[in-house]
Structure 1
Amino acid sequence: MALNLSLLKSICAAPGVSGYERRIRNLIHEEVKGLADEVQIDNMGNLIAIRRGKGNKRVMVAAHMDEIGFIVNHVDEKGFVRFLPLGGFDPKTLTAQRVLIHGRRDVLGVMGSKPIHIMKAEERAKVVPLNEYFIDTGLPKEEVDKLISVGDPITRERDMVELGDCVTSKSLDNRISVFILIETLRRLQGQDLPYDLYAVFTVQEEVGLRGAMGSASHIDPDFGFGLDVTIAYDVPGSTPQEAVSNLGEGTAIKVLDGSVISDYRMVNYLKELAKSEEIKYQLELLPAGGTDTAAVQRYGTKGAVAGALSIPLRNMHQSTEVVHQGDVAATIDLLVAAVSKLDGYDWSFAKDHGDGQHPDRVAGDLDWLG
């Protein structure tokens, strides 16, 4: 399956740090308005594309549209811009990187810090703290003051390019999932769905899953899928147990991360489906970090049968990230199959799902699942 790399490039380029997602949301809206029965934007700014299905249950797929970035908190007497982070950053990757400050117009800048030539020996051995960086716009103070204000958001400036069988870009966390969810809606055109599908492009994930909490609470899904990247530490110096996932080995079915334990029924459903559809997959066990999956699972009134598909990613939360095109295609294939066939699976706790537990029926089993 050839990927629409032109669309992916546009999605990655569109600015949208946590809390300032307007421009990426507008792009998504243009792409999905012809692919859904209804498109809503809630009070937080989550964009919800709804496809109506035949049954009376609700399926939520969450892909966050915000990217990590910064926000202006001071402009000094020489016009250098200071900033605070929006989301987690690895400070050692910021030196001499280009950024865009989204003020009265987009202003290009370069992140700077104390030159290594005049650092003391003990300073050279340490990572420069985030609060010692500044942004140089190359403009005089008077011009900076006309264009830039405290509170303006800042994004990284880095184009997407192909890299062998991969693509590399800023903000593939999580714009690759935005792309996958749009392409999934496109693939589902003309298909009858078993249940109502809520494709949710969430805000403010990078600062605490905030958008997904709000959207899950009012959608109240019966089934939920998170869609996000995961660590691919499959490079020189890593060990197999540290890798979490491997580039080129297929979509990653989440077993757990630092915020969620996926429902074992959903894990086994996705595994069985991947095998029957001959879709390449791997299992993801991420010891730390979290995704919208946790919010989707917990914030409905009755909770959701939830799991996630993750895209292996190298260089997470750095200036440029890398994904494998084959893994992206596999994720689209499995997500399309998963939302299309939910009504054909036995979701009761009575079934032996191969989880190593006794399959006796428990009093109060989920009768609403039949």
Structure 2
Amino acid sequence: MKVTELLKDLSNSFGPVGYEDETRQLIFDRISPFVDELKVDSMGNLIALKKGNTGKRIATFTHMDEVALVISRIDERGYARFEGLGGIDPKVLISQKVRVKCRDGVERRGIIGMLAPHLQDAKSKGKVPGFDELFIDLSMNPDYEAIQPGDLVVIDFEALELNGKVVGKALDDRACCAVSILTARELERFSRRPDVYFVFTSREEIGAFGAKVAAEGIKPDLAIAMDVTHDNSEFEINIGKGPAISVGGPNIDKKFFEKLDKTAKKHNVPVQYEFAAGRTGTDADVVQISGTGIPTLLISLPQKYMHTPVEVIDPTDVENSVRLLAAFLAELEEGEKDEV
């Protein structure tokens, strides 16, 4: 399973917030050879269990959903207004191609447009357009009348490889979904391991609702959330230099962080450090307060251009995350939960 191809396939799949069916099926197919049980819960989370033999229950959390758009109304000419699903900036949408999944089961195409420069006045030329100034032109579809309010829209951008990096939409957080899939495969090499629940969550981009429900149901001894973080030289986080492990702050379990850090050093896995001062904006925030409380770690993949159609991931960061996570899981000691 080539990392770059897996990343591109995951990026290209259609999985808006709360409507992750296509992405979930793709993950189901890719991880099924390496796990013992698969189920979809009431929130649409995919939970893949790889059974172990140490008596511990560990859960990883990576979200499947992507920021997207939803059509709010469409006029008789085939021009649609829309709203955002999740944190998406209208500035990145201008002149983008889009895919529309309609309720009749047909996928249609469109273009996001705005008032042409020639028709703008001095005031509008100096204004950054918001959702109210943008529209989706769907009139090129001969049956655009079938498109309705509530139909879902994602940017039509096919992922590609550029100089060893993968560029595409929704790599937040599909790149970490790839880490989970590949870790399930990597754990085949270890004779000793805990029960590992690989949770692919729904609706993270609007509040991590899926992760909350899954964590309540599994009640793991330890949770490991995985998401992306910003490539930022000021904070010494860069793509291609390994995963960033969160340290400090109220959300990160201190003892398990120390063990994760020691595992990285022991196995010569390059890592970077990200200080988590408060809320992380990831599944970790809700998982750690689920039930009576769950010790939680956060591993992040450095990424450029988050929540745009051209997110950038270095596949070597995925590979090093798999090495780190598999070694950490295999070396957890039975009974460690009681020492936290």
Question: Does the alignment reach a TM-score above 0.5?
Answer: yes
The equivalences for 1:65-84 within 5 A come to: 65-84=64-83
Q: Deviations over 1:223-282 (max 9, x none)?
A: 010011111134xxxxx14x6x2112111001268xx62112222222111111000100
Q: Give the match for residue 144 of structure 1.
A: 144
1:312 to 302, 305, 317: 302
Q: Which runs of no fewer than 5 residues in structure 1 stay unpaired?
A: 235-239, 348-365
SS at match of 1:200: strand
Root-mean-square deviation (Å): 2.1
The equivalences for 1:232-251 within 5 A come to: 232-234=231-233, 240-241=234-235, 245-251=237-243
Q: Give the match for residue 50 of structure 2.
A: 51
SS at match of 2:33: coil
Q: Take 2:216 and 2:339, find their aligned partners in 1: how far apart are those partners?
A: 19
TM-score where L is the length of structure 1: 0.86
Contact persistence 1:296–1:306 (CA under 8 A): yes
Q: Give the match for residue 294 of structure 1.
A: 285
Q: Give the match for residue 237 of structure 1.
A: none
Contact persistence 1:60–1:296 (CA under 8 A): no
Q: Deviations over 1:108-140 (max 9, x none)?
A: 111111223332333333321122211112336
Q: Take 1:292 and 1:192, find their aligned partners in 2: how far apart are those partners?
A: 30
Name the structure, 1 or 2, with higher relative contact order (CA <8 Å, separation 6+).
Answer: 2
Q: Give the match for residue 177 of structure 1.
A: 176
1:282 to 252, 272, 286: 272
TM-score where L is the length of structure 2: 0.93
Contact persistence 2:204–2:282 (CA under 8 A): yes
Q: Give the partner amino acid of 1:143.
A: D
Q: Take 1:311 and 1:88, find their aligned partners in 2: how far apart are those partners?
A: 19
Q: Take 2:305 and 2:68, find their aligned partners in 1: how far apart are those partners?
A: 15
Q: Which runs of no fewer than 5 residues in structure 2 stay unpaired?
A: none
Q: Give the partner amino acid of 1:188.
A: L
My pick for the range that moved more, 267-276 or 61-70, is: 267-276
- Cα deviation for residue 221 of structure 1 reads 1.1
Contact persistence 1:3–1:329 (CA under 8 A): no
SS at match of 2:34: coil
Q: Give the partner amino acid of 1:75.
A: I
Aligned residues: 337
Q: Give the match for residue 323 of structure 1.
A: 313
- Cα deviation for residue 193 of structure 1 reads 4.1
Q: Deviations over 1:115-171 (max 9, x none)?
A: 23332333333321122211112336x72112x122111111111111213111111
Indicate yes or no: 2:262 matched with 1:272: yes
Contact persistence 2:155–2:309 (CA under 8 A): yes
Shift of the 193–21 alpha-carbon distance from structure 1 to 2, 3 Å rule, reads farther
- Cα deviation for residue 8 of structure 1 reads 2.0
My pick for the range that moved more, 63-72 or 73-82, is: 73-82
Contact persistence 1:231–1:316 (CA under 8 A): yes
> Quick one: percent identity of the two aligned structures?
33
Q: Deviations over 1:293-335 (max 9, x none)?
A: 1222111x23222111100000001121101122121111111
Q: Take 1:154 and 1:189, find their aligned partners in 2: how far apart are those partners?
A: 38
The equivalences for 1:335-346 within 5 A come to: 335-343=325-333
Indicate yes or no: 2:333 matched with 1:334: no
Q: Deviations over 1:11-49 (max 9, x none)?
A: 111101011111111111111222111111101110100
Contact persistence 2:110–2:140 (CA under 8 A): no
Q: Give the partner amino acid of 1:247.
A: I
Contact persistence 1:225–1:296 (CA under 8 A): no
Q: Take 1:138 and 1:10, find their aligned partners in 2: how far apart are those partners?
A: 29
The equivalences for 1:18-97 within 5 A come to: 18-97=17-96
Q: Give the partner amino acid of 1:283.
A: Y
Shift of the 119–265 alpha-carbon distance from structure 1 to 2, 3 Å rule, reads farther
Q: Give the match for residue 218 of structure 1.
A: 217
Contact persistence 2:251–2:284 (CA under 8 A): no
SS at match of 1:329: helix
